[in-house]
Amino acid sequence: MKRYSAFAIAREGLRYHKGWERAWGSPEPKKRYDAIIVGAGGHGLATAFYLGKNFGITNVAVLEKGWLGGGNTGRNTTIIRSNYLQDPSAAIYEKSRSLYETMSQDVNMNVMFSPRGVIMLAQTHHEVRGYQRTAHANALQGVETTFIGPQKVKELVPIINLEGPRYPVLGGLWQARGGTARHDAVAWGYARACSDMGMDIIQNCAVTGIETEGGAVKAVNTSKGRIETGKLALVVAGHSSDLAEMAGFRLPIESVALQALVSEPIKPCMDVVVMANTVHGYLSQSDKGEMVIGGGTDHYNNYTQRGSFHHIEETVRALVETFPMMSRLKMLRQWGGIVDMTGDRSPLISKTPVGGIFVNCGWGTGGFKAIPGSGWAMAELVAKGEPGPLAADFGIERFREGRFIDESVAAGVAH
Amino acid sequence: MLILECPYCGIHADETELENGGEAHLTRATVGASDEEFESYLFARANPKGVHFERWRHAYGCGKWFLAARDTVTLEVFATYCAQTSEPPAEVLKAIRAKHPDWEGSA
Ligand SMILES: Cc1cc2nc3c(=O)[nH]c(=O)nc-3n(C[C@H](O)[C@H](O)[C@H](O)COP(=O)(O)OP(=O)(O)OC[C@H]3O[C@@H](n4cnc5c(N)ncnc54)[C@H](O)[C@@H]3O)c2cc1C
Ligand SMILES: [Zn+2]
């Protein structure tokens, strides 16, 4: 693989950009791999990357039914933060946030990580108390956050209206090291690095069945034929129940639609990320100038990648109240993704009832930020067959044992 | 916008008037049930791609719980029916099979 660098751009500029090579291969599947990962979203690709990088396992295929990054990884509003309440969450999300800081170097692709700071607005007294509690918890966990008052919020976000009629801004939880990154580049960067390690990334290859023998995985059937493996990682977000059914077990997961939208591009007006959880609105400005807006989830099971319009209305109504200048903006595009919700709003990085099959799912509305940390932890689980310290608390058995990692109370919603 | 007919008051209610209550026809785990049975009742879900039986409440209408058979891939509604039943009635299954002749039934 030729390395990307400023020098490479200059060199190619002098020869009509004819020297760029394909970023990743497009091989036909082999008969057998040491490990197969289903799903070429960020989490599947990061799992493959760390299987190679941390454990030297490179006879790996990543199977993707569509195109890589075409699932939630390419549909999200890219907010990265680690200010969660519970210790196991803070540990994995903080690991992930710190890996984002060096991701561009690690994979040799500019993922445009922008640690511009994230504010979660407190717009009710309940939220003020909740975020103060989170700030204290974060201090103990070694995650840098502070609770700030309304004046400081106004300094950071001049376009905000502190005196909204329904939900005045009473303060906020500020994580200066949070931010955003370019979602496609995260998927592409890992794909390119994995391909370079000799792994096969196979697009347009849907897994349609899972073969087991004596309680352990033997092979997968796909739209490109049968492929054998001894280790199978299911990393398919909203489609996890479907794959689990192929392997003969159920998951504590429900799939629902989550939507986002972007406005027309405007001049720079906001250089931090703002989340307003009470009213379900999330906002940042992209480098192109569009306001990128995340909304709420529909409340019924859905696989259509479309959401209900009234959620868009709710989100926009709330944002206009808090950011009056938004009322003048035209919206350009709206889309949805199918997110995988667990009962405690925390993910699964887990063994399953079938030997050799592992799941990584349940990131729901907030797993973009977790991609590198999740891949790191999942690779260890797949390589060793047992979870390491980051994944240990995220096993499926927590639902039987009542050991929930409850982030639903903590955030109300999560992104 | 999802629109369901409430089988009690006959109103075609849109989703802003309704509350979703998750998978229907689950057998409640109760006194003496094992941890596995509680886990399965409380958390494990079919979450199928296709025919889904689910609970709904006509929250901003008559307030009653009812059941619906719906397709999670096409968003088509096959039928809504009263909640006083432990399995889908024959005419609901017929309505599903009319659209999906090879449907194998819910697990
Ligand atoms: C609108 C929206 C906004 C969001 N905003 C944020 C945010 O601001 N911050 C944040 O941290 N998170 C956010 N999220 C959540 C985040 O996008 C997801 O948690 C994350 O991208 C999940 O990554 P993944 O790799 O697990 O899944 P995906 O990227 O969905 O990848 C799964 C892949 O599996 C493939 N697949 C499925 N079935 C099969 C099969 N049978 N065979 C082969 N392949 C299959 C799919 O095609 C897909 O490409 C948002 C999500 C949405 C939808
Ligand atoms: Zn009614």
The pLDDT tens digits for A5-63 are: 999 999 999 999 999 999 999 999 999 999 999 999 999 999 999 999 999 999 999 99
**Count of the separate structural domains present in chain B:** 1
Q: Which ligand is nearest to the CA of A342?
A: 1
Distances from the Cα of A105 to the Cα of A99, A111, A400, angstroms: 10, 9, 41
B1/A309 CB distance under 8 A? yes
Cβ separation B47–A254 shorter than 8 A: yes
Output the pLDDT for position B106: 61
Q: Which residue in A301, A309, A399 is closest to B47 by CB distance? A: A301
Helix (H, G, I), strand (E, B) or coil at A11: helix
Structure tokens at A360: 């990584």
- B15 interfaces chain A, CB cutoff of 8 Å: yes
CA–CA distance, B59 with B18 (Å, rounded to integer): 5
Stretch B78-91: mean pLDDT: 96
Query: Rounded distance, CA A311 to CA A291, Å?
Result: 17
| B107 has a chain A CB within 8 A of its CB | yes
Tell the residue number behind the tokens 């990131």, with chain if given. A363
Domains assigned to chain A: 23-78+183-251+344-411 (3.50.50.60), 114-178+254-342 (3.30.9.10)
* Ligand 1 atom nearest residue A257's Cα: 53
Q: B45 at the A interface (CB within 8 A)? A: yes
Residues in B 48-87 with any Cβ partner in A closer than 8 A: 48-49, 52, 54, 70, 72-75
- Residue A412 is predicted with a pLDDT of 47
Tell me: the pLDDT tens digits for A71-108? Answer: 999 999 999 999 999 999 999 999 999 999 999 999 99
Whether residue B86 lies inside any domain: the answer is yes
- Cα angle A273-A275-A277, degrees, rounded to a multiple of 5: 175
- Quick one: closest CA in B to A308, which residue? B1
Chain centroid to Cα B66, Å, comes to 8
Which residues of chain A are within 8 Å of residue B40 when distances are taken between CB atoms?
Answer: 250
Instruction: Show residues of chain B in contact with A298, CB under 8 Å.
Output: 15
| Residue B30 covered by a domain | no
Whether B96 maps to a domain, the answer reads yes
CATH number at residue B74: 3.30.2270.10
Confidence at residue A411, expressed as pLDDT on a 0 to 100 scale: 47
Is residue B51 classed as helix, strand or coil in its secondary structure? strand
Complex confidence, ipTM: 0.94
pLDDT, mean of residues A286-307 = 93
Amino acid present at A48: A
- B99 within domain boundaries: yes
For residue A103, give every residue at least 6 positions away whose Cβ sits within 8 Å of its Cβ, in sequence order, or none: A111, A113, A181, A186, A189, A372
Q: Is residue B36 domain-resident?
A: no
Chain A residues near any Cβ of chain B (below 8 Å): 239, 241-242, 245, 250-255, 298-304, 308-310, 343, 399-401
What does the alpha-carbon distance between residue A320 and residue A326 come to, in Å, rounded to a whole number? 5
Nearest 5°: phi and psi at A200?
-100, 120
Q: Is B27 on the interface with A (CB under 8 A)?
A: no
CB A110 within 8 A of CB A157: no
For residue A20, the 8-state DSSP code is P
Looking at the domain assignment, is residue B35 inside a domain?
A: no
Cite the beta strand spans of A253-400 per DSSP E.
253-265, 273-276, 281-285, 290-297, 331-342, 348-351, 357-361
Q: What is the pLDDT of residue B48?
A: 96
Q: Does any domain span residue B16?
A: yes
Average pLDDT over chain A, rounded to an integer: 95
Run of H or E including A119:
strand A118-122
Which residues does chain B have within 8 Å of residue A346's beta carbon, measured at their own beta carbons? none
Closest CA to B65 of B6, B4, B2: B6
Residues with CB under 6 A from ligand 1: A 38-44, 63-66, 70-73, 75-79, 206-207, 235-237, 239, 243, 258-260, 294, 337, 339, 363, 365-369, 415
pLDDT tens, residue by residue, A235-292:
999 999 999 999 999 999 999 999 999 999 999 999 999 999 887 889 999 999 999 9
Task: Give, for ligand 1, the residue of A236, A297, A350 to mutate: max count of ligand atoms closer than 8 Å to Cβ.
Answer: A236
Backbone angles phi, psi at A337, to 5 degrees: -135, 155
Question: Model's pTM, two decimal places?
Answer: 0.96
Domain that includes residue B17, residue range: 1-24+49-107
Residue ID of nearest Cα to ligand 1 atom 34: A39
| Sheet arrangement for strand A216-222 | A32-33, A225-229, A216-222, A207-213
Please, is A18 exposed, middle or buried when counting C-beta atoms within 10 Å of its C-beta (0-12, 13-18, 19+)? Answer: exposed
The residue among A82, A154, A75, A165 whose CA lies nearest residue A121 is A154
Within a domain: B33: no
CA distance A235 to A191: 15
Q: How confident is the model at residue B105, as a pLDDT?
A: 78
